[in-house]
Structure 1
Amino acid sequence: MDLGFLLNFPLLILIVVVVFGFKSFTVVPQQEAYVVERLGRFYKVLNPGLNILIPFIDRIAYKHTLKEIPLDVPSQVCITRDNTQLTVDGIIYFQVTDPKLASYGSSNYIMAITQLAQTTLRSVIGRMELDKTFEERDEINSIVVSALDEAAISWGVKVLRYEIKDLIPPQEILRSMQAQITAEREKRARIAESEGRKIEQINLASGQREAEIQQSEGEAQAAINASNGEKIARINHAQGEAEALRLVAEANADAIRKIAEALQNPGGNQAVNLKIAEQYVEAFSKLAKESNTLIMPANVADIGSLVSAGLKIVEGNNKPAQ
């Protein structure tokens, strides 16, 4: 054997060991799964972390990500129930749940999901009229997800949701829809304007009626207040007159009492005699001034007898009763 080969043999052994070492150890990232085949048959699914394989016997056949994957569905032309063409595109969100089925259940599960989504969408839109397709987006999405999820079980895939991105009708339909929307908005504007005028007229009538009611109530209240004021004034006037009469009566009574007391005092009769004579003369003087007719007593010269007669009356009243 060649001496050079023998000298290089340990180096070759070392190289083979290093190669086998690299081939034996495999690190799987988080949220990923590797499908391992041994001698061409499925062996196992490697979990995240460090895994050991047998070099040249085991091999990693498929690598899958377990994260949620968004998949864009190409736009396609769908025909509605009322024979209107719609250009529709959407997006699917799915996740690999079984790496083994995802590897061996379908040759290309992504293409299978995309094609099934397109055919299901055409079928759903074909059962709807044009207006319903814009109104029932949630229902369309739900039907597509249900159909995809049922079929994707055998592919090891879970379809999470489907969203329609665009629904584009032809330009002629868009123009007619725009005209319809414009007419509808003008109709609502006219209705709103008429409703505004109606409410304005109702408010004006209500305001005028309320003002008339307030005015009539004010006039009635003013009349009541005036009547009450007049009544209170009459009551106050009557009370004032009564009070005046009472005061006059009290004054007369007080004067009479004082006259009576004066008569009881010494010289009271002479004072009364003098007062009566003064009033007698004053009365005749007033009659002479106020009228051309003069009433004279039968005996004008005998004024003293008249005064003495009056004094006798006063003295008679002053005598105590027997």
Structure 2
Amino acid sequence: MIGGVDKDLIVMAIWGLIFAVFVIKLLQSIRLVPTKSAYVVERLGKYHSTLDAGFHALVPFIDKVAYIHDLKEETIDVPPQECFSSDEVNVEVDGVIYISVIDPIKASYGITDYRYAAIQLAQTTTRSVIGTLELDRTFEERDIISAKVVEVLDQAGATWGIRVHRYEIKNITPPETVKNAMEMQVNAERERRALLAKSEGDKQSKINRSEGMKAEMINLSEGEMQKRINEAEGRAEEIMELAKATSESIQALAEVISAPGGQSALRMQLAEQYLKQLDGLSKESSRVILPANMVDFDSWMDNIGLKEKS
């Protein structure tokens, strides 16, 4: 009886184990695929199908999810590596790759590990491109290096089922001795530019000062010229006005003289002025020059052409 009980318990345990395994496999055959993911299913060791996002039920014990791929874009760090430039300078370069899986079947069966392969290919391509450039150009031609790496990875990615979106170089680190030399060169260039800028500033300052002095001299000369012109024009106008006034006075005097009694009035006025002049001379000097005949007034007038007409 005891032997029979033990035998029944063993059989029940075996059936229970088989049932548990069946339930586990049944649950494993139910797959919920997330968005932007792809499950590669094998049936009896052979590729069967690719599961997209959603609910899927597999055949237990026959179907198996062999590979799971994330279809979103991912970044892969490229470890630092030593590269030699064309002028034999050793630099350390690292970067980052941006890739995504576009064909889950090729990514599963076209290569063992596409991530590792992409890193290795990026490193070898970077070394080959930097080997064609001088050290100074490696810092300037990062876009060329990145474009070449992307081109090579795209060609290989067609077989691996991946797409390389871009490759960026993070750091290009030269040796300390080269870095110090480059810093000294940069400082020397900066000092040269500063001296050049200072000399250009001094030159421009002198030019500005000379141009200012030139403009000042021109303004002064033009002002002096205008002043002389104005003075000359003023003197000319003064002379013209004086001549005009003299002409008018002479004309008026002639008209007065030609009028009746004009000569007599003129003679009297001249005689009066003459006597005033004599009086003034007598006060200023002890010597007075008188005409030979003080009484003969008519002879004085005759000498100046103002003889009274009879």
Structure 2 length normalisation: TM-score?
Answer: 0.74
Residue in 1 aligned with 2:75?
70
Q: Secondary structure at the match of 1:119?
A: helix
- 23 and 242 in structure 1: CA distance in 2 versus 1, 3 angstrom threshold: same
Instruction: Give the structure 1 partner of residue 187 of structure 2.
Output: 182
The answer on 1:36 being equivalent to 2:41 is yes
Give ranges in structure 1 of 5+ residues lacking alignment: 3-10, 260-271, 273-277, 298-308, 311-322
Residues 131-142 of structure 1 correspond to what in structure 2 (within 5 A)? 131-142=136-147
Structure 2 CA distance for aligned equivalents of residues 88 and 16 of structure 1 = 52
Instruction: Tell me how far 1:246 sits from its aligned partner.
Output: 6.3
For residues 47 and 135 of structure 1, what CA distance do their matches in structure 2 show?
A: 44
Paired position in structure 1 for 2:111:
106
Does residue 83 (structure 1) correspond to residue 84 (structure 2)? The answer is no
Per the alignment, do residues 17 and 119 of structure 1 end up closer, same or farther by CA in structure 2, a change over 3 Å counting?
Answer: closer
Please give the alpha-carbon distance, in whole angstroms, between the structure 2 residues aligned to 1:50 and 1:248.
138
Report sequence identity in percent. 43
Is it true that 1:227 corresponds to 2:228 in the alignment? no
Tell me the amino acid that sits aligned with residue 56 of structure 2: N
| 1:232-261 alpha-carbon deviations (Å, 9 max, x no partner) | 2223333444555666778x59x96xx8xx
Deviations 1:61-98 (A, max 9, x none): 11111111110000011111222111111111111110
Q: Determine helix, strand or coil for the equivalent of 1:195.
A: helix
Q: Residue 209 of structure 1 is aligned with which of 214, 219, 243?
A: 214
The yes-or-no answer on 1:48 pairing with 2:53 is yes
CA RMSD of aligned residues (A): 3.6
Alpha-carbon distance change, 225 to 287 in structure 1, aligned in 2, over 3 angstroms:
closer
Is 1:61 equivalent to 2:30 in the alignment?
A: no
1:194, CA displacement in angstroms?
Answer: 1.9
Q: Which residue of 1 aligns with 2:168?
A: 163
Residue 126 of structure 1 aligns with an amino acid whose one-letter code is: G
| Residue of structure 2 in register with 1:293 after alignment | 294
SS at match of 2:65: strand
Partner of 1:127: 132
**C-alpha separation in 1, matches of 2:48 and 2:105:** 10
| In 1: Cα distance, 2:94 partner to 2:51 partner | 36
Deviation string for 1:194-238 (max 9, x for gaps)?
222222222222222222222211111111111112122223333
**Separation (CA, whole Å) in 1 of partners of 2:44 and 2:122:** 36
User: What number of residue pairs does the alignment pair up?
Assistant: 267
Q: In 2, Cα distance between the equivalents of 1:208 and 1:143?
A: 61
| Letter aligned with residue 229 of structure 1 | G
Letter of the structure 2 residue corresponding to residue 236 of structure 1: E
Question: Which whole-Å CA distance do the structure 2 matches of 1:242 and 1:91 have between them?
Answer: 108
**Counterparts in 2 of 1:163 and 1:20: CA distance versus 1, 3 Å:** closer
8 Å CA contact retained: 1:37, 1:58: yes
Deviations 1:21-66 (A, max 9, x none): 6445422211111111122211111111223322332222111111
Structure 2 runs not aligned, ≥5 long: 6-15, 279-289, 299-308
- Equivalent position of 1:116 in the other structure: 121
Aligned partners of 1:287 and 1:294 also within 8 Å:
no
- Contact 1:27-1:49 within 8 A present in 2 as well: yes
Cα 1:74–1:294 change in 2 (3 A) is: same
CA positional deviation for 1:143? 0.9
Tell me what 1:263 maps to: none
Distance 2:83 2:272 in 1: 133
In the alignment, the residues of structure 1 paired with residue 175 and residue 89 of structure 2 have an alpha-carbon distance, to the nearest angstrom, of 8
Specify the SS of the correspondent of 1:93. Answer: strand
Give the corresponding residue for 2:304.
Answer: none
* Larger Rg belongs to: 1
Alignment partners' CA distance in 2, 1:178 and 1:149 = 37
Are 2:199 and 1:198 aligned? no
